[in-house]
Structure 1
């Protein structure tokens, strides 16, 4: 599987499987492309090309000390799409990956992307701003960052327990924990500060492609009324799809429905 060199020389890992219409997956914090395992299984069988990117600092990508901004992540995605010669893609971003996808569409003029799928996105803005009192208080987010500084293993375990509305096996929770532990500590801290502080509302004006927002109504990490509803209103050609039995981790809470929705939208 290829490692693509970004403009600053950092190697970014991408898994490129299958043929057909491409779907490019951007993972959430603090995981990696493997979180979409049960999407790949279904969508490859349906005839899609699935490309999973490990954002820098995560999974099998290099883990430099330094910049973990949405601009940097978006530039890395562009490097991957250019190197793999991807065109007409559905860009699917989960949580922090949704923020990365939102920024990509604005910063790179929707290059190589025909459709946008945002899953429980950490976008456009999570925490309170002077003109956005609906956001979470920073005190709701900072314990995750402090936990990453002091006991990242416990923080990842606690975060994994927050993700789901339906019962999941202990083994799946352990697997989620293990994906988080593959990240670098500095990337975990710095990118959490990115999604905590970001305000991507201006980027919404630049998104013109058909957009679906898939969001669990029980999401406690990126609540639907803060993110999904704002994106639907702010993106010209967007539709919010509510998942009534999902929390933040809708890819496991309602796997079959997510897979069917993605296949229908991307086809």
Structure 2
């Protein structure tokens, strides 16, 4: 475990385990790198190096007031990969982490990354735009932001219940809730506004590495029709892998399948 300082002085927490081919994990909103516990468990045993980053505002990273844009997150990821001197990584971004990964690949010219894995990504566009009428209505997303402003504990519990297609234990749902409560309230709000409003379609043209998109067909948070399918069409070297028994939280709905897919792709 280590803290790496970004260019604006913010300390970003990194968990770095193993010695094999590196897989860098970027978590979703409003969680932290610990959401990938069961990926770390299996992939470390398979001989991979697993690197989990807590984005600023989340987990054990600093939680400043201010910029929670995809540019800022991407720059923090670059600081981590530079400091760790990573080569040939698989960059694996889940949900908001998928948006961060998409922006990173464009903004930083794919530095350090040989393969891109997008897991139920909040990318390239979530909400309706004048030229993208198929997106979610902002009114579908805004209650999450308002909930973070007024009763973040309740919002996190309701969001945790939205994640999965398969039955999960009450204890696991509570654990997911607890990860969300480790985030700062202001970061939760600001970064939700980021993924609500972002349009990453121009970034897709800059992605040239092999890309896999792993997406649950029952995803109600980032529906596969407006994210996964658009990414497969827009990224030159991309393949969409459908998870037929998963909602948004495919890392838990189909843990064995996603771990096998990642090991095959990153190996």
Q: TM-score range by the shorter chain?
A: over 0.9
Alignment map for 1:102-113 (pairs within 5 Å): 102-113=102-113
Tell me whether 1:9 sits opposite 2:9 in the alignment.
Answer: yes
Give the match for residue 54 of structure 2. 54
**Tell me, which stretches of 5 or more residues in structure 1 are unaligned?**
none
For residues 208-267 of structure 1, the C-alpha deviation after alignment (integer angstroms, 9 at most, x for no partner) is: 000000000000000000000000000000000000000000000000000000000000
The SS at the match of 1:174 is: helix
**Partner Cα distance (2:217, 2:35) in 1:** 21
Tell me whether 1:198 sits opposite 2:198 in the alignment.
Answer: yes
The SS at the match of 2:225 is: coil
Give the match for residue 224 of structure 1. 224
Tell me whether 1:147 sits opposite 2:147 in the alignment.
Answer: yes
Alignment map for 1:127-206 (pairs within 5 Å): 127-206=127-206
* Residue 20 of structure 1, CA deviation: 0.8
Q: Which runs of 4+ in 1 moved over 6 A?
A: none
* Residue 81 of structure 1, CA deviation: 0.3
**Partner Cα distance (1:190, 1:58) in 2:** 12
**Partner Cα distance (2:86, 2:31) in 1:** 24
Give the match for residue 86 of structure 2. 86
The SS at the match of 1:51 is: strand
The SS at the match of 1:109 is: coil
* Residue 177 of structure 1, CA deviation: 0.1
Give the match for residue 65 of structure 1. 65
**Partner Cα distance (1:220, 1:180) in 2:** 19
* Residue 122 of structure 1, CA deviation: 0.1
**Partner Cα distance (1:210, 1:75) in 2:** 22
TM-score by length of 2: 1.00
Give the match for residue 239 of structure 1. 239
Give the match for residue 214 of structure 2. 214
Give the match for residue 23 of structure 2. 23
The alignment yields a C-alpha RMSD, in angstroms, of: 0.2
**Partner Cα distance (1:227, 1:118) in 2:** 10
* Residue 132 of structure 1, CA deviation: 0.1
* Residue 110 of structure 1, CA deviation: 0.1
The SS at the match of 2:114 is: strand
**Partner Cα distance (1:84, 1:154) in 2:** 38
**Partner Cα distance (2:184, 2:86) in 1:** 28
Alignment map for 1:30-45 (pairs within 5 Å): 30-45=30-45
Alignment map for 1:228-267 (pairs within 5 Å): 228-267=228-267
The SS at the match of 1:92 is: strand
Give the match for residue 76 of structure 1. 76
**Partner Cα distance (1:16, 1:165) in 2:** 30
**Partner Cα distance (1:134, 1:19) in 2:** 43
**Partner Cα distance (2:175, 2:107) in 1:** 34
* Residue 100 of structure 1, CA deviation: 0.1
- Report how many residues are paired: 267
* Residue 25 of structure 1, CA deviation: 0.1
**Tell me, which stretches of 5 or more residues in structure 2 are unaligned?**
none
Give the match for residue 120 of structure 2. 120
